[in-house]
Every structure is written in structure tokens, then in C-alpha cells.
Structure 1
């Protein structure tokens, strides 16, 4: 029999549906860091991000029977993450947001688009942070999923209930908006 850690996410969900709860621990280990970063990059405090990740996996276990075989696990997981975040915000539990610049490598905008930021360009971090925080929630979320979480456009399309082409267009528009906000901040 295959070791649990060698199974695909979808196979692990099959085991979880059969009440083999050790499969949830493997999924938690695979996704806890990326989910934590997903929330942290949206400006949530570290403690809040940890709590939200915990809530996601509680729901994964609770709703394991609702997972449909053949569905991309990551899309299903991030839908739960979006729901957990929406519930958190609806409850008015928005604790103090943190400045995320101290936790991550940021992006810099050039005339040609986005590129990785090195230490020699630290002076641009504040403007990028401000620009990202000024993006509408849906645009920030789609950039986080496609750029930071490295989700495929097809996975995001499944998650958002739209076509892959629509996701590409949303990413393009979000990058345009981010570029515009960034350069506006640079001029001021």
C-alpha cells in the first residue's frame, strides 16, 4: 500500500471521506504555509492568519463528504479559505492588520511589468505595499492566488466559477491597476 504522504491531494481526500483522518494531517502539512501566507499577504495579523488556517482544516474535516471526486482539491480548499475569511470579516473580528512588508519579498513594478525585488531596491517596498493595499479586494485576491500561491488559471477559474480566459483578463486588469497605483504613489 502507498504511503499516505505519497498520495495526491485528491487521493488523500478520498481517504478522508472514508474517515481516515491521518490524511487530513498530510494535507495540513502540505498547505498550512501557503494558506498562512495567503492571509498574511492580505494584511491579517500573524495570530489571525494562524487561526484562519486552523479554521480551514476544521472545515475540511467537517465537510469532507462534500468534496467531489475529480474536482481540483486546491480550488476546493481555497474556496473554503475565502469562505472562512468572509465569515471572519462578517463577525467584525478584524484585529489589527499588520504591515506585511516585514514578512515577505515584495514585487516591484517596472515599465515592462512586475519583477522580483532585491535588497538594493528596498526604498520601493513602502510604495508597493501601499499600492497593493489600495487594490480592490477581488483584485488583490486574484494576484495573491496566481502570483504568490502559484495557482494555475484553470484552478482559479474553477474556484471563481468563471472561464480561464476571464481569469487571465482579471489578472491583466489587476496588474494594470497595481501598476497605475504604484506609479501614482511614486509621483506623489
Structure 2
């Protein structure tokens, strides 16, 4: 969620315009606004702190270099998260990860998850392994929907695909998560790759 601007603060679009004119102060302001959000996004896609830091730095470098290409017709946040998404996809090639969907978000996707009888630590580990099994495109849709609170239309712009594709990816992510969930009878959850 974008933090509210106080009176007199420049908008993200204004900052990008100033950055396109090589304004280092504007980049610093945008950096402070977006690094926490881009970091959270990268954490959902990657696990290595080094990879996350590298992605964040790469994103801000691309913002600096490509600011003149921002047309202003869309939201600056959508443009920046598009860069973050593509940068994360590049970094995924080197992944040896432990990415996860936090329990609160998993509970939102699958009601009753926290009442499944599994211990919290076991459940955290299980959800982490479950999240790893989702394709990067589905993970990105979950992250942008639940953590960044973006609309499907904004996510479609970030991912460079039609809005219906975003909806389809969300549908398949939810279906895969539900298929691997323990049933209401208390049976064990489906075996997840990498668990004993």
C-alpha cells in the first residue's frame, strides 16, 4: 500500500520527472518511499538476503536510468513494480530458496488453515514449501494482490499480460494451494516436495 503523502510532498510521478533530469535528491526521496515495498515484494519471490538486496539495488538503478521513459499515463508504482517483477524473474534463475506465503495470507486464501491441527512452526514450514511450488507468475500475483493491495488491472500492467491472465493465475494458485491443504477431517496435508 502506498504511504499517504503529506502536503507539499511531490508525487511519485513528479519525482520521476525530476529524476529524468538527473535530480539525485528526487531519487533519494523515491528510494526511501519504495525500497521497503520493493524489498517486501522481492522477499516473496526470492529468499536470499543477498539476492533481495541486489534486486532492490538493480530496480532503483533501472529507475534512475529509465526515468525519462516513464510516460506518466499510468501510476508510477505500477511502472516501478513492473521493473521489480522483471528483475526478480531474472534473479530466480539462481534461486536456492525458502520463499513463503505468510500464514495470514495463506489463511485468507484457505479458510480454516490455522485450525488444521498443525503446529505453528510446522505450518510455517509447510506453507513455505507450498509457496515454493507455485510458478513465479502465480507468486507474483499473490504478492501484488495481498501485500501490495493492487487491483488486477494494475497487476496486469506490471506483469505485461491481460487482466484475464492475472485472474487465471490467481485461480490456479488458489486451486493448487487448496489441493495441497489438509482436509476438514484432519487428514494429513498432501505431500509437499522437500518434506519428509
Q: What TM-score bracket applies, with the shorter chain setting the length?
A: 0.7 to 0.9
Measure how far apart 1:29 and its partner are: 0.9
List runs of 5+ in structure 1 lacking aligned partners.
Answer: none
Measure how far apart 1:45 and its partner are: 0.6
Indicate the residue corresponding to 2:157 in structure 1. Answer: 158
Structure-2 change in CA distance of 1:159 and 1:107 (3 Å) = closer
Aligned-partner Cα distance in 2 for 1:52–1:125: 25
Greater than 4 Å deviation, 4+ residue runs: 103-106, 114-118
TM-score (norm 2): 0.75
**Alignment size in residue pairs:** 180
Indicate the residue corresponding to 1:137 in structure 2. Answer: 136
Q: 2:78 aligns with which of 52, 75, 78?
A: 75
Do the aligned partners of 2:44 and 2:143 also contact (CA within 8 Å) in 1?
Answer: yes
Aligned-partner Cα distance in 1 for 2:169–2:111: 16
Say whether residues 1:39 and 2:42 are aligned partners. Answer: yes
Aligned-partner Cα distance in 2 for 1:116–1:56: 35
Structure-2 change in CA distance of 1:69 and 1:107 (3 Å) = closer
List runs of 5+ in structure 2 lacking aligned partners.
Answer: 1-5, 192-196
Return the structure number with greater strand share: 1
Measure how far apart 1:149 and its partner are: 2.2
TM-score (norm 1): 0.78
- Superposition RMSD on alpha carbons, in Å? 3.2
